Amino acid sequence: MAMTNHERVGKALDLLRAGLGPFVERELQGQYRGQARAEAARLVGDDRNVTGKTIRDWDVAALLRVMWEGWNEVFRRTLGQTERSLVSELRDWRNKWAHQEAFSSDDAYRALDSVSRLLSAVSAPQVEELERMKMELLGVRFDEQMRAERRKAGGTLVEAAATGALKPWREVVSPHPDVASGRYQQAEFAADLWQVYLGEASSEYQDPVEFFRRTYLTENLKRLLVNAVRRLSGAGGDPVVQLQTNFGGGKTHAMIALYHLFSGKLPAELPGVEAVMAAAGAHSLPPVRRVVLVGSRISPGRPSVKPDGTVVRTLWGELAWQLGYAAGGIEEARRAYARVAADDEKATSPGDALRELFNAYGPCLVLIDEWVAYARQLHDAPDLPGGTFDTQFTFAQALTESARAARACLVAISLPASDEPASPYLQAEDIEVGGIRGREALARLRNVLGRMEAPWRPATQEESFEIVRRRLFEPMTDPEQFKARDVVARAFADLYRTQKGEFPPECGEPDYERRLQAAYPIHPEVFARLYEDWATLPTFQRTRVCCASWPR
């Protein structure tokens, strides 16, 4: 029996309770110690019956009430204004659910997405189940839209045949199968390094060949890959790279490119990588051990239990385990972890043991995404398995120094952009950073990394043409396709030149025909509006919105 939207929201609220409970309890105990239970009861008031229950076992309404009422005292140090807005919104969704109100598919998706975002901010494992529920609901919404279109057309979906000498774009280029069939979802354009590491990402991100086939190597991304090849081949290159862009600027996508570059595939199998190899002066790639640390998916308050029973508590414990596992499976992972076991158990920085690890298991690639999301959850007191707030930056210092001293190690770290207080991107940064503790963590990580920042710019407008085309359309290989494209571009260019008074001046410039060819089958004016007008919005994500807004 199919699940109703009301049932979906109810299940999402159950997942929210399970994910928020340990976080709320941990934060209250960090603030109030032995008085945490009493202070929580004070915050929740008399309208919720929480007698005799531990904080983590309270219902979702009580947990959200505690977060809302105790925001300034407790939670604003870990979370930001964005998360506070989510708490308020989710209290409304919970009340509507409790009063048996009807949920449209759009309402249900909004509720699920807000639950997922709040759980992600506290590194709750329930996020993965929420993402599966969201994808299922998107499929339901698509089916509803298709049925509506069939009703409008009297039971069939018929397109009028194109007339005239110019071929319609559908006869020239073909969308990728997922786009053409309606299986494309906007969420698939949200890069997730952790999902790739687990082997659970969509094929566009999981398969190295498909990833590079759909990825246009901008000059900046190519420069990053060239540096990685040189560094891990022992031919120079920077040992530590800091990827720093404004919100949605492609940091995670770049990290996935690094991850797949050293997947073991031959460079000739990966589209575009042969040019990277030539620029790096290399003929082959060494076997590289890869480590992935994503701060929003690793909780400092919940140790990770490995398949053999080993309990890993800290980022450096996870790093050592992954290095060993990449080199030789469980047995080697256990030996690698033993090098930092004492520091992992006591949550103290491993110091020079990292350099020894990198040399023993190199060449190695360490990718750290969403580090601020992890660090902002740490406390000043040593009450969390992940260590203290200060220890995190001692580890950061040891990590960067060890990477420089090791023979063949590359550490790539992503951080939100550094903007002046007056910048419109400050709001976007807050989404990635969080509250007071998040901003402090970001400032201290920037200070540790110092001048090791690699300049990283979003794609230019013309590079975006190729990025979006590769994401949405099959490549053009037949000379007849290029001929049809050029005929269309020439026809539009002639129209703009002969009717100058009817179109913007730039449309009559000689170079505009080349832009029409580069953007085909999307008009370059679409990109101009997205990049020049919409890009002033703080959280605007250029190529993802381009892909998501393309009419299917």
Q: Which amino acid is at 332?
A: E
436 and 466: one domain? no
Q: How far apart are CA 43 and CA 47, in angstroms?
A: 11
On whether residue 394 sits in a domain, the answer given is: yes
Report the pLDDT value the prediction gives residue 47, as an integer from 0 to 100: 61
Strand order of the β-sheet with 289-294 is 289-294, 364-369, 409-416, 240-245, 453-454
Q: What is the pLDDT of residue 143?
A: 64
Asked if 404 and 483 sit in the same domain, the reply is no
Domain assignment of residue 344, yes or no: yes
Q: Is residue 341 part of a domain?
A: yes
Residues 423 and 331 in one domain: yes
Beta strand pairing call for 304-305 and 311-312:
antiparallel
Is 55 inside any structural domain? Answer: yes
Per-residue confidence (pLDDT) for residue 536, from 0 to 100: 52
Full residue range of the structural domain in which residue 332 is found: 215-250+286-454
Domain count across the chain: 3
448 and 480 belong to one structural domain: no
CA distances from 341 to 312, 314, 321 (A): 8, 10, 10
Secondary structure of residue 454 in the 3-state scheme:
strand
Neighbours of 505 (CB within 10 A): 8
* Residue position matching structure tokens 């005239």: 164
pLDDT at 278: 92
Instruction: List the structure tokens of 526.
Output: 């679409």
**Residues 39 and 123 both lie in one domain:** yes
Residue linked to tokens 């494309």: 184
Closest CA to 413 of 377, 452, 357: 452
Which is it for strands 240-245 and 453-454: parallel, antiparallel or unpaired? Answer: parallel
Q: Of 167, 521, 523, whose CA–CA distance to 512 is shortest?
A: 523
Closest CA to 471 of 546, 377, 360: 546
> Domain of 313: which CATH number?
3.40.50
Per-residue HEC secondary structure of 245-287 comes to: ECCCCCHHHHHHHHHHHCCCCCHHHCCCHHHHHHHHCCCCCCC
In-domain check, residue 100: yes
- DSSP tag of 473: B
Record the pTM.
0.77
Q: Are residues 61 and 126 in the same domain?
A: yes
Whole-number pLDDT of residue 287: 95
| Sequence-separated (6 or more) residues with CB below 8 Å from residue 76 | 84, 435, 436
Residues 385 and 422 in one domain: yes
pLDDT beneath 70, residues of the chain: 1-2, 47-49, 142-165, 176, 178-190, 245-249, 417-434, 451-466, 531-552
Instruction: In the chain, count H helices and then E strands.
Output: 25, 7
Last residue of a domain, one of 411, 430, 454: 454
Residues 474, 506 share a domain? yes
Full DSSP string of 374-429: HHTT-BSSS-STT-BHHHHHHHHHHHHHHHHHSSSEEEEEEEE----TT-TTHHHH
Q: How far is CA 426 from the centre of its chain?
A: 19
Asked if 348 and 489 sit in the same domain, the reply is no
Of 112, 139, 166, the residue at which a domain comes to its end is 139
Residues 297 and 356 in one domain: yes
The answer to whether position 79 is within a domain reads yes
| Structural domain contains residue 262 | no
Q: Return d(Cα 131, Cα 297) in angstroms, integer.
A: 13
* Interatomic CA distance for residues 349 and 398, integer angstroms: 8
Interatomic CA distance for residues 48 and 461, integer angstroms: 54
Residue 469: predicted pLDDT = 72
The reply to whether 55 and 87 lie within a common domain is yes
Final residue of a structural domain among 454, 485, 519: 454
Q: Could you give the C-alpha distances from 443 to 266, 292, 543, in angstroms and in order? A: 40, 23, 28
The pLDDT value recorded for residue 264 is 92
- Would you say residue 146 lies in a domain? no
What is the DSSP-derived secondary structure letter of residue 311?
Answer: E
One domain, residues 488 and 538:
yes
How many CA atoms are closer than 13 Å to the CA of 188, on its beta-carbon side?
Answer: 21
